[in-house]
Structure 1
Amino acid sequence: MRVSAGVAAFLLSLTAIPVSFLLNGLSAMDSPMTVFYAGVGVLLGLLLVLYLLVIGRTPTDPLFYAFSVFSFTSVIDLIISLEQDGYIRGFMGFYLKEGEPYLRSAYGILICYWDGTVHYALYLLMITAISLSWSYRCVGLYWLGSILMSLVILLVGTVLVSIHEGKYGTEIRPAFLLNIPYMLIPIWAGKKIYGIPRALPKATADQVATEQGKWLYRRPLDVCFVIYLLFAAAYTVFRGFIALECPFDTCVRYAYDQEPYLLDPVMYPKIQEEASIN
């Protein structure tokens, strides 16, 4: 029985579970270079298998392949987080030791959870949209901002920690280079996503002009958005002060009681909050 391209991509992403388990059991995975080559081989093999599965019904959008590979790595990231928190074991221990040890940091665990849940759902939505020839511009733009923000912080933070010889700074392995395509491909994807025609409201130009000419208090949806935006900006600034070691009691209590991750001695939370403020 032949399955659709979208279903094939989804099923292929789930193969991350047995693949990670099998690799973890290989004694050869005790070398950083071996782990790097294994990562490259798995990704290339994944593309080949996906291509063979969708022959005859290949989606016209090349981002289908990128999102399919990214969905596989999202499952890998979820496995990493679950293993770090002790829910499972025997899957990605080799990679945390010889691949990307900095993922053991608080930021590393959280970014893996985010990629393994939110990004994974977004990939499946975009894969489905591509398979059905639907527009995925809004979903794609949200994903683009999210993944670029998280990866820039991860890469820049890791390099800065390495320069200052801080925590995890001396543990950069060749597998760090596997993150480079995840920076380049979203840039290419962003150009294509921006090129997708925007869905215009079913209203005339006069109706749009009349609505935009109203005072803000007469546009309840816009009022809610402005209130949310002000709250989000203030909250971001507050968290930025905490990451920069604000001495006020309120900041200290919040950090210890709610987000102790912000006090992690590595550079990730500081870079994230500074980038958010800017």
Structure 2
Amino acid sequence: MDIPPLAGRIAALSLGALPLSYVLNQVSALSQPLWVALMSALILGLLFVAVYSLARGEINYDPLYAVFAVFAFTSMVDLIIALQEDGYVVGFMEFYTKEGDPYLRTAHGIFICYWDGTVHYLLYLAMAGAIRRRKGYRNLGLYWLGSLVMSILVFLPGNILGKYSSELRPAFLLAIPYMLVPCWAGMKVFQQPRVPTCCTPEAVQQEQRKGLLQRPADLAFVLYLSLAAIFTFFRGLVVLECPTDACFEYIYQYEPYLRDPVAYPKVQMLTYLFYVLPFYVLAIYALVFPGCSWLPDWALVFAGAIGQAQFSHMGASTHLRTAFTYRVPEDAWACFFTCNLLYALGPHLLAYRCLRRPSFFLPPPPPGGAPDPHKKKL
């Protein structure tokens, strides 16, 4: 996958979050939740106007350039929040985490901020750089889309259902455009043309004639996805308080974080159960039967989603902000990290396999081979 150059102007603009957050933190008026929400909305609006005035040509070419520019700025803010909550910086975003989004001070919120401030930030710069050079960024966009949607699906319901539900502030309303923008952005990304492949019709036919036993890598993926589906279903039963001994033992001895009243781990496991589990089943089907051209795209989407989810889940399970009772026991660390790392790594390897060797997933060529474009019609 060709990663486009980064967008230098957006990177410079996003760094303005450092002095701005420091100055705003000194304003005493921002100790009121309503003022925090209004100021945040005003800053985002002014930022959009600034981006539009500086990069009108890029926005006319692809309006997602403005989205990536604004989101890159908010990613830098999230990185500052995470560093502040872990004690690496002081005096920047205390006003916002206290009166704006107090749930960002949870372990889950901190790791969401770390992911947004690093992985999402680099993706925004890379995609904006691609737009500036009039290049495609479909693969990067699909990965980003899955990651962002998973973050929203877990974080927002967790805020409403968890123990911090009584601390919702007016700034929570800013989540409404944050939910709508990915829907629009996702449609724009899916509409981009796919990266052309060099697979000939003969190569496609030859690959699609092979059975599963003749494709050992795909057989390994089928076995992995089967085990991952079982693990997904099992953890779904655990958070649904299944009374079996296996579920009871697992939640107390291996992943007690699933009992944390913040609700994020429970929502995460239910999201896996209702969205990731069906994808695993469909992916197994696509690895057995040829011509499922949807798998490469959706493998990228789910790789981004599971990567973000596992990073936040594993980090929060061991972070000091999580009560000691709910952290992973020391004698279970090896099992916990091995299972969860494999759970995160597998979808990325599947996406890589689909992108590197897509012949099996391409639509089968018509009978008799592809028509010769140079042959004259009678």
Say whether the fold is shared (TM-score over 0.5).
Answer: yes
1:140 aligns with 2:141: yes
Structure 1 residue runs of 5 or longer lacking an equivalent are 162-166
Partner in structure 2 of residue 122 of structure 1 = 123
- Aligned ranges 1:1-278 → 2 under 5 Å: 6-54=7-55, 60-161=61-162, 167-244=163-240, 247-255=247-255, 260=257, 262-278=258-274
Task: Output the CA distance in 2 between the equivalents of 1:56 and 1:146.
Answer: 28
Task: Output the CA distance in 1 between the equivalents of 2:238 and 2:18.
Answer: 37
The alpha-carbon distance between structure 1 residues 131 and 234, as it changes in their structure 2 partners (threshold 3 A), is farther
The residue type paired with residue 222 of structure 2 is V
Greater Cα shift, 193-202 or 238-247: 238-247
% of aligned pairs identical?
Answer: 50
Partner in structure 1 of residue 299 of structure 2 = none
Q: CA RMSD in A?
A: 2.3
The residue type paired with residue 225 of structure 1 is F
Task: Output the CA distance in 2 between the equivalents of 1:57 and 1:151.
Answer: 27
Structure 2 residue runs of 5 or longer lacking an equivalent are 275-378
Q: C-alpha displacement at 1:243, in angstroms?
A: 4.1
Contact 2:59 2:65 in 1 (8 A): no
The alpha-carbon distance between structure 1 residues 40 and 130, as it changes in their structure 2 partners (threshold 3 A), is same
The residue type paired with residue 141 of structure 2 is G
Task: Output the CA distance in 1 between the equivalents of 2:83 and 2:236.
Answer: 28
Contact 1:106 1:264 in 2 (8 A): no
Contact 2:58 2:65 in 1 (8 A): no
The alpha-carbon distance between structure 1 residues 224 and 138, as it changes in their structure 2 partners (threshold 3 A), is farther
Task: Output the CA distance in 2 between the equivalents of 1:68 and 1:224.
Answer: 40
Partner in structure 2 of residue 164 of structure 1 = none
Q: Secondary structure of 1:217's match? A: helix
The residue type paired with residue 230 of structure 1 is S
Q: C-alpha displacement at 1:17, in angstroms?
A: 1.2
Contact 2:158 2:263 in 1 (8 A): yes
Q: C-alpha displacement at 1:223, in angstroms?
A: 3.5
The alpha-carbon distance between structure 1 residues 157 and 57, as it changes in their structure 2 partners (threshold 3 A), is closer
Contact 1:243 1:263 in 2 (8 A): yes
Greater Cα shift, 149-158 or 28-37: 149-158
Q: C-alpha displacement at 1:59, in angstroms?
A: 5.9
Contact 2:24 2:30 in 1 (8 A): yes
Alignment deviations for residues 65-90 of structure 1 (CA, whole Å, 9 cap, x no partner): 00110111111111111111112121
Contact 2:97 2:105 in 1 (8 A): yes
Alignment deviations for residues 178-234 of structure 1 (CA, whole Å, 9 cap, x no partner): 111111111001111110011232122232122022122332443343344334434
Contact 1:8 1:50 in 2 (8 A): no
Contact 1:71 1:123 in 2 (8 A): yes
TM-score with structure 1 setting the length: 0.87
